[in-house]
Every structure is written in C-alpha cells, then in structure tokens.
C-alpha cells in the first residue's frame, strides 16, 4: 500500500498483520478525487484508522490536521510508524471509537471538516451493532463544522442502520467492487 498523491505521494505504508481490511488504492484514489479541494486546510478525523491510509492521504494532499482513532495497540503502533515515515504529523488516539465519541467534549463541536470511517464490515451481530452505534452517535455529527462531510466505507449491499430521529442525510454513494462509499452530512434534526 502506498500514499497516492501529494507531499508524501509514492511512499509505502506498512499494513498491520491483523484482521484489518485496508482501503484499496483504487477506492482511496476515487474518494480523494471526489473530494477535490475540500481536503485543503481541512481538519480530519479518521475512525477505525488501521494503517492510517485515509488520514495520511488527506495530510499528504494538504489537510491541516488529522486525528486517528484505533483501538488495537499493535495496529496503532504501525500507524505511528507510518506517520513517522511520511513526516506528516497527526494525533493517534488508542481507544475504541465508541469511547472516543462518548468523550468528545463540548469544545469538539465543529472541530472537524471531514470524518472518515472504515469500520469492520457488518457481517455479524457485533459488527452490525458497531455500525449502528457509530451512526447513532449524536456527538459525531456535532463534531463536524458547517458544511462538513462524513465518508463511511461499508460493504456493498449492506443496509445502513438509521437512528430515530435521523442524524444523517445521504448526499450520494458510490460502489467500487465489494465496497460502497457513503457521503453523509448531518441532518437538521440532530437533538440539541
């Protein structure tokens, strides 16, 4: 796996030897082409970061900052090595995404321009519950600045659970093989 473009373009990233499922070069290239200038000077949150490929690609293409959330200590170590290799900076938080979202403080309101999430594909009850909890987290849409975007990678054909009231509005989605990218924005109905 490599950084596709930008200041670290061409550098190789280490992929953790675990059950992570890195976003392919093809999907990352399509994603970042679709985002265009939205990346420049953006503050990015990369959830279920794994190797950090999404956040690192954003930093390489001109994002101002990236916060990476990865629960597995060994995987977070590989992520830190990738950040050192690329010399792009970034903050790594070694914790479960659900815990990170619960601890987002009031000061995190409007902190991010872009949120990327590549959670475990919903193939069993545990991973379906993880995806449902992610989409039901009220702190996640609140953490986006006005005009902010949440890009969720999921298995093609998987139904996205919807919170009541709906917290997200789908702008579009794109399929790449067995992967679907969902481009979401916070709904106006987020409880205060």
Q: What is the pLDDT of residue 117?
A: 94
Question: Helix (H, G, I), strand (E, B), or coil: what is residue 54?
Answer: helix
Q: What is the largest CA-CA distance in the chain?
A: 44
Out of 3.40.50.360, 3.40.80.10, 3.40.50.150, 3.20.20.20, the CATH code matching 30-186 is 3.40.50.150
pLDDT over 70, % of the chain: 88
Q: Can you say how many angstroms the Cα of residue 31 is from the centroid of all Cα atoms in its chain? A: 11
| Measured distance CA(42)–CA(1) in Å, rounded | 23
Q: What is the pLDDT of residue 11?
A: 83
| Measured distance CA(113)–CA(57) in Å, rounded | 15
List the chain domain ranges: 30-186
Q: What is the pLDDT of residue 162?
A: 77
DSSP state of 37: G
Q: Decide: pTM greater than 0.75.
A: yes
- pLDDT digits over 2-60, tens only? 888 888 887 888 887 765 566 777 888 999 999 999 999 999 999 999 999 999 999 99
């Amino acid at each position: 796996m490599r950084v596709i473009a930008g200041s670290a373009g061409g550098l190789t990233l280490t992929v953790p030897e675990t059950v992570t499922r890195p976003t392919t070069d093809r999907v990352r290239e399509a994603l970042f082409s679709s985002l265009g200038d939205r990346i420049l000077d953006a503050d990015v949150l990369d959830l279920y970061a794994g190797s950090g490929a999404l956040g690192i690609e954003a930093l390489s293409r001109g994002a101002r900052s990236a916060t990476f959330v990865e629960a597995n200590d060994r995987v977070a170590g590989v992520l830190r090595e990738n950040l050192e290799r690329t010399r792009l900076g970034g903050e790594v938080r070694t914790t479960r995404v659900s815990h990170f979202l619960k601890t987002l403080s009031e000061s995190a309101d409007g902190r991010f321009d872009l949120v990327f999430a590549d959670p475990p594909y919903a193939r069993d009850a545990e991973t379906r519950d993880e995806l449902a909890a992610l989409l039901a987290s009220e702190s996640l849409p609140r953490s986006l600045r006005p005009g902010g975007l949440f890009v969720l990678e999921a298995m093609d054909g998987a139904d996205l659970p919807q919170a009541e009231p709906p917290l997200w509005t789908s702008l579009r989605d794109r399929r790449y093989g067995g992967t679907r990218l969902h481009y979401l924005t916070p709904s106006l109905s987020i409880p205060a």
